[in-house]
Amino acid sequence: MSADAAPWLWALGAIVVLVVATWLHVRFWGRAYARSWVAPERLDARAADGTRLALHRWPATPGGRGRGAPIILCHGVSCNARTFGVDEDLPMARWLADEGFDVFALDLRGAGESERGGPAARGFDAYVDLDAPAAIEAVCAHTGAARVLWVGHSMGGLIGYQLVADAATRSRVAGLVTLGSPIRALDARPELVAGAGLFVGLRPVLSRVHMPTRFVARLVVPAAGRVRGWPERFFGHPENVPPVVLRRFLAQAVEPVHGSVLDELVLRVRREARRAGGGVADVRAAVRSSGVPVWVCAGSLDRIAPPRACALQRPALGEAPPVDLLAPRGHCDLVMGRRLDVEVLAPLAAFLETHVARCETTAP
């Protein structure tokens, strides 16, 4: 071995060791907080393009106030259905089932146990046009209900807004609950809006690949709850989310996100900024005039989707945003963590209870 070659070989060896160590680190923490997350039942739906979608079902407890009305829980961007069950002490899906609702937690295409779907059918539009209608039809066929109650967290709530805004699908939605869903992206956290602008120049590349969000989430699992202020303050308020729950969320509920999803969300921000037609104002107006009951919940401590971004009506200057419930919570702790049953689930179930009869009839 020549003296000139030795530094390159040492450098190559160091890179190989670093890559292997990082891989082992991610694998270890992914398994360390893994748990058997198996719903009592699973229902598969088929989207119009043939993509198989997984629906994890918790049957209703007989005699509960939900009277067996079907709920579809829809997760946010870069997540999966485990979002609604990583908190073993207070899993949202099981709590609602115990209240008498027939709960179906949906894995959107490319997430959890669902198939990815073809390259031509990925992104937010595919979730709205293909996945959501397929899930609704499958649940209605399985339960015999005419309509479903849709509960969406973050992007899952934005999907719900589109379903209600579209005359072709609103007839199958008996009621809509959105949790931390920023219907007006320009009012979201400034750093996220600025990041959307930077994304534009990289669109030709990023819109064709998967973002390694699951890899990054598992990489930072050991820091969750140990490094104060980050990353828990981004995902939720530390007082609400025990460190072990945050670690389970990062290890189990975060998925790679296809760049096309981010691409469509970036374009949405740009349309809002340019006041282009077909934007958020039209969606808001369509939702308000749809006749579908809507309950909006925003976290007053949310660093991703603050209450102003979640409001269905624009507040006047100096006024508080007209959001139905401002829970003292962050973004992800709207669906997990301490006091969830009191601060979010109890009023949510009370709202849904008043509309369970609508699940039994078709829209006029």
Cβ proximity of 148 and 352 under 8 Å:
no
pLDDT digits (tens, 9 = 90+) for 230-269: 566 677 888 898 888 888 898 899 998 877 777 777 777 6
Instruction: Please state at what angle helix 259-274 crosses helix 190-201, rounded to 10 degrees.
Output: 110
Mean pLDDT check: name the lowest of 44-58, 112-126, 275-289.
275-289
Residue 218 or 56, more confident: 56
Structure token digits, residue 14: 């160091």
Structure token digits, residue 240: 């609400």
pLDDT(195) > 90: no
Q: Which structural domains are found in the chain, ordered by start?
A: 40-360 (3.40.50.1820)
- pLDDT reported for residue 116: 85
- pLDDT reported for residue 259: 75
Distance of CA 178 to the CA centre of its chain: 10
- pLDDT reported for residue 277: 46
- pLDDT reported for residue 202: 63
* CA dihedral sign of residues 338, 342, 344, 345: positive
Per DSSP, the three-state class of 125 is helix
Q: Which one-letter DSSP state was computed for residue 300? A: T
- pLDDT reported for residue 129: 93
Residue 168 or 211, more confident: 168
Q: What is the pTM of this model?
A: 0.88
| Rounded distance between C-alpha atoms, residue 122 and residue 158, angstroms | 16
- pLDDT reported for residue 17: 78
- The mean pLDDT value of the chain amounts to 84
Average pLDDT of 40-65?
A: 95
The band of 137, judged by pLDDT with boundaries at 50, 70 and 90, is very high
pLDDT(61) > 50: yes
Q: Name 202's Cβ contacts closer than 8 Å, sequence gap at least 6.
A: none
Residue 211 or 249, more confident: 249
| Rounded distance between C-alpha atoms, residue 342 and residue 345, angstroms | 6
Mean pLDDT check: name the lowest of 38-52, 134-148, 303-317.
303-317
pLDDT(224) > 70: yes
Instruction: Please state at what angle helix 132-143 crosses helix 155-165, rounded to 10 degrees.
Output: 80
Per DSSP, the three-state class of 306 is coil
Residue 283 or 352, more confident: 352
The band of 276, judged by pLDDT with boundaries at 50, 70 and 90, is very low
The band of 306, judged by pLDDT with boundaries at 50, 70 and 90, is confident
Residue 181 or 26, more confident: 181
pLDDT digits (tens, 9 = 90+) for 65-122: 999 999 999 999 999 999 999 888 889 999 999 999 999 999 999 999 999 877 667 7
Highest mean pLDDT among 182-191, 231-240, 245-254, 335-344: 335-344
